A and B are shown apart, each in its own frame.
Chain A
Amino acid sequence: MNLKRTPLYQEHIDLGARMVEFAGWTMPIQYSTLKEEHLSVRNNAGMFDVSHMGEIFIEGKDAEKFVDYLVTNDVTGLVPYQICYTPMCNYEGGVVDDILVYKFYHNKILLVVNASNTEKDYEWILKNSGGFNVEIRNESDSYTQIALQGPKAQEILNEISGVDLHNIKYYHFEKGPVDGIECIVSRTGYTGEDGFELYLKNGSSVYLWRKLLEVGKFMGIKPAGLGCRDTLRFEAALCLYGNELSDNISPLEAGLKWTMKSDKNFIGKSSLLKQNEEGLPYRLRGIELLEKGIARHGSEVLDENGENIGWISTGYLSPTLQKSIALGFLKPGYRKIGTEIVVAVRNKKIKAKIIKTPFYKGSVKR
């Protein structure tokens, strides 16, 4: 199968990026080193090409009503140009995808979805649209998405933004020109830092990418790859679909109960209410390793007698904190902060304990 390339592919090659396959795309994993890019986002700013993400537009008289039925969070309550993060569940309460809902008006909504799930989501949305007066368009292939993240993101974007960034609150967006190029500009991100995500039609992408690197230079902006995107979101304890969320993991288990509004109807509601009442088989927790070693996705978690009590969903030596930490799903009885557990990393048993999340709070302005 041919890997898909974003409109910025040649820019990455010219910047010397190491490219990897991700969800059918060839994407930059790092340009310099993961740690340098990670710390650049924490301390100054980093710029990511995330054009592999999907953009699905829902338009029509019932757009708002339909999306509200598709997702667990409240869409009708959003004001125009507000965004919400939300799981989109299946009937069993598992997660089809975790997405951003951009509400323009009640009759126009943009869903930003994971690259790995774009086709699955589109099919799912189409399949459940019966009876709703909506038009569903997958426009993923015509949009470039650039994420500008870090405490200096606003200062940098402000150099060329025709949109007043001060007026964009956390999880809100505006439409307007950035250096003359029409963009959707939202104060959102996946790093724990303040920052923006820009959506623009392919064609001007290379120009804007270069321009942002140029104007951001004196504030230490760096192109940043998928490698640090994962370590950054991990330190902020943000879920990654495929690790912390899947068709078989419920939002309740992943700690996303805050995104579930039970005063409305949505797909998966009865399953989730039932699970909430009966208790969660597993629950996501933060874990710190107390001995040398790094827990990895899929490592087994044990109690002191060697009984299986869960699994690790993501684990790293945290670049910011320089601690070996992990996110993992645990059975009841092992979820309190301070509880000692054991992580099996290959043939070694490593002592660990439950700690609170997020592991790190960045400059994000809630």
Chain B
Amino acid sequence: MAKYTKTHEWVTVEGELAIVGITKYAVSQLGEVVFVELPEEGQEVEKGESICNVESTKSASEVFAPVSGIVRSVNEELEDSPELVSEDPENKGWLFKIEMNRQEEVEDLLEEKAYNEITGD
């Protein structure tokens, strides 16, 4: 089950890895994604830190690390096909995977219902 942040990231947990992307709602606000600036693999990130940028024609939008840890992999397919983020934001359009060093941070993330209340869905 995916969890969510107030800043419109989704997170699914696979063991020690947190897979992160932006939500359908974020994409609907942003418009067609034309460029993704991914974080570096091996980069250490703090929860809440801006580590990545998703850009539509109109604007750039920051993506914040939902949990702390080390970036283990990034979705390299997005370098040539950034449109995957608009087309399938919660699956093929994933952005990066973080190896968590404080797994308990997952507990602070929002359940789907609570997130939908924020976006008014």
Is B113 among interface residues, defined by CB-CB distance under 8 A?
Answer: no
Whether B32 and A294, one on each chain, are in contact in the complex, defined by CB atoms closer than 8 angstroms, is no
Whether A34 and B60, one on each chain, are in contact in the complex, defined by CB atoms closer than 8 angstroms, is no
The stretch that binds A, out of B5-13, B14-22, B51-59, is B51-59
Checking B32, B35, B37, B60 against A35 with a beta-carbon cut-off of 8 angstroms, the contacting residue is B32
CB A199 to nearest CB in B, in angstroms, measures 28
Whether A34 and B35, one on each chain, are in contact in the complex, defined by CB atoms closer than 8 angstroms, is no
Whether B58 and A227, one on each chain, are in contact in the complex, defined by CB atoms closer than 8 angstroms, is yes
Whether B58 and A29, one on each chain, are in contact in the complex, defined by CB atoms closer than 8 angstroms, is yes
Is B31 among interface residues, defined by CB-CB distance under 8 A?
Answer: yes
Is B34 among interface residues, defined by CB-CB distance under 8 A?
Answer: yes
Whether B58 and A294, one on each chain, are in contact in the complex, defined by CB atoms closer than 8 angstroms, is no
Is A292 among interface residues, defined by CB-CB distance under 8 A?
Answer: yes
Is B44 among interface residues, defined by CB-CB distance under 8 A?
Answer: no
Is B88 among interface residues, defined by CB-CB distance under 8 A?
Answer: no
Is A33 among interface residues, defined by CB-CB distance under 8 A?
Answer: yes
CB B82 to nearest CB in A, in angstroms, measures 9
Whether A293 and B57, one on each chain, are in contact in the complex, defined by CB atoms closer than 8 angstroms, is no
Known: A35-B32, A227-B31, A292-B79. A348 touches B58 (CB 8 A): no
CB A346 to nearest CB in B, in angstroms, measures 7
Output the nearest chain B residue to A30 by Cβ-Cβ distance: B31
Known: A34-B57, A294-B60. A317 touches B35 (CB 8 A): yes
Whether A33 and B37, one on each chain, are in contact in the complex, defined by CB atoms closer than 8 angstroms, is no
Output the nearest chain B residue to A38 by Cβ-Cβ distance: B57
Whether A35 and B53, one on each chain, are in contact in the complex, defined by CB atoms closer than 8 angstroms, is no
Known: A227-B57, A292-B79, A346-B53. A33 touches B35 (CB 8 A): no
Q: Which residues of the other chain, A, contact B31 by a CB distance below 8 angstroms?
A: 30, 33-34, 227
Is A80 among interface residues, defined by CB-CB distance under 8 A?
Answer: no
Whether A317 and B79, one on each chain, are in contact in the complex, defined by CB atoms closer than 8 angstroms, is no
Report the Cα distance A80→B52, complex, angstroms: 56
Report the Cα distance A101→B52, complex, angstroms: 46
Is A231 among interface residues, defined by CB-CB distance under 8 A?
Answer: yes
Whether B55 and A294, one on each chain, are in contact in the complex, defined by CB atoms closer than 8 angstroms, is yes
Whether B79 and A319, one on each chain, are in contact in the complex, defined by CB atoms closer than 8 angstroms, is no
Known: A227-B58, A296-B60. A34 touches B32 (CB 8 A): yes
Report the Cα distance A296→B57, complex, angstroms: 10
**A-B contact sample (18 more), CB < 8 A, given A34-B32, A294-B34:** A29-B58, A30-B31, A33-B31, A33-B32, A34-B56, A34-B57, A227-B31, A227-B57, A227-B58, A231-B57, A292-B35, A293-B37, A294-B35, A296-B59, A317-B35, A317-B57, A319-B57, A324-B35
User: Shortest 4 CB-CB distances between A and B: which pairs?
Assistant: A317-B34, A34-B57, A294-B55, A227-B58
Residues of A within 8 A of B (CB): 29-30, 33-35, 227, 231, 292-294, 296, 316-317, 319, 324, 345-346, 348
22 A-B residue pairs with CB within 8 Å: A30-B31, A33-B31, A34-B31, A34-B32, A34-B56, A34-B57, A35-B32, A35-B57, A227-B58, A292-B35, A292-B37, A293-B35, A293-B37, A294-B34, A294-B35, A294-B60, A317-B55, A319-B57, A324-B35, A345-B37, A346-B53, A348-B37
